[in-house]
Amino acid sequence: MASQQSDDDTCFESPVSINRRVFSSSLSTSPKSMTAKRNHESSYDTVSPLLRQLKSTSLSVQENGENERSVHLRRRPSVLDEKALREADTQSVREQRINAITRSYEGILGSIGEDPSRQGLLKTPKRAAEALVFFTKGYEQTIRDVVSDAIFDEECENMVVVKEIDIYSLCEHHMVPFFGKVSVGYLPNKRVLGLSKIARIVEVFSRRLQVQERLTRQIAEAIAEAIEPRGVAVIVECLHMCMIMRGAEKVNSRTTTSAMLGVFREDPKTREEFLTLGRIKPF
């Protein structure tokens, strides 16, 4: 019986004895070691959110094969494979578009208090409709159509710069014009692009409803995908009528945007050379 009692005491401790043991253990720990432990835990808490995020991401990828992070990191669809919104339009469809826009302009004229039937405005709705279709003709052509027959194998390693290409576009926020100039440069990687095609790429993207920031990026990405150069650089400088004719009404304001890919982003000297060669003169 004495032996059995001893085993029970070993296996099952009362709550009182547990508390007494923990309390005495804490007293035996020196203040110095407790401070060190606290500092260590505080340091760990500072980085633990990032560590936990990385670990959870890694586990999620291993368990599920794909997670939300991988969706965000997935490569954007190719610029060359994008479909133009109106590339399949026939002449009949184009006329239907113009007729629909004409009716809309007639309604707009009436809505601003004008008389669409007066002599000076009789043909204005149709003229405006045809102009709008022309202003957005970039929706009728894909980048692949533009560059497909103008990529040439060439052992060229020097920078190619086409500067001060005129652009005219429509701000997608107010549908009023912005216009200016574009300079494009790239470092070939055994392939070059026909010079006129660079201007055509600029034209396709600018003849759409745009914002200048996206326009700049699209030009750079299109050239990068078309010929896979060592780097691409684009500078766009424009006057925005939405800032000049309305809103802030700042007549002399200009907006400059740039996109640097490959060596133009990585090498300051290469970037500086392009910024010097591609500088846009005042206009």
Active site residue 240: yes
Active site residue 156: no
Kindly list the distances between the CA atom of residue 145 and the CA atoms of 81, 116, 180, 222, 249, in Å, as whole numbers in the listed order: 10, 40, 25, 12, 39
CATH architecture of 143-278: 2-Layer Sandwich (3.30)
Q: Is the pLDDT of residue 58 over 50?
A: no
* CA atoms of 170 and 178, how far apart (whole Å): 6
Per-domain residue ranges of the chain: 82-139, 143-278
Q: Is the pLDDT of residue 34 over 80?
A: no
Residue type, position 43, single letter: S
pLDDT tens digits, residue range 182-200? Answer: 999 999 999 999 999 999 9
Average pLDDT over residues 78-90: 86
In the prediction, which pLDDT does 188 show? 97
In the prediction, which pLDDT does 65 show? 46
In the prediction, which pLDDT does 75 show? 54
User: Given 82, 114, 228, 242, which residue is catalytic?
Assistant: 242
Active site residue 172: yes
In the prediction, which pLDDT does 82 show? 84
User: Given 82, 164, 174, 228, which residue is catalytic?
Assistant: 174
Q: Is the pLDDT of residue 22 over 50?
A: no
Angle in degrees, CA 132, 79, 185, rounded to 5: 90
DSSP 150: -
Using an 8 Å Cβ cutoff, are 134 and 126 in contact? no
User: Given 154, 172, 213, 272, which residue is catalytic?
Assistant: 172
* Long-range own/partner contacts, residues 266-275 (CB < 8 A, 24 or more apart): 266/231, 270/159, 270/187, 270/231, 271/233, 273/159, 274/159, 274/161, 274/185, 274/233, 275/235
Average pLDDT over residues 257-272: 97
- In sign, the C-alpha dihedral spanning 99, 104, 107, 108 is negative
Active site residue 173: yes
Contacts of 137 (CB under 8 A, 6+ apart): 207
User: Given 106, 171, 203, 210, which residue is catalytic?
Assistant: 171
**Residue 104: pLDDT band with limits 50, 70, 90:** very high
Give 82-139's CATH code, choosing from 1.10.600.10, 3.90.1150.10, 1.10.286.10, 2.60.120.10.
Answer: 1.10.286.10
By mean pLDDT, which of 76-80, 82-86, 123-127, 219-223 is the weakest?
Answer: 76-80
By mean pLDDT, which of 84-93, 98-107, 254-263 is the weakest?
Answer: 84-93
In the prediction, which pLDDT does 33 show? 53
User: Given 87, 173, 266, 272, which residue is catalytic?
Assistant: 173
Average pLDDT over residues 85-90: 91
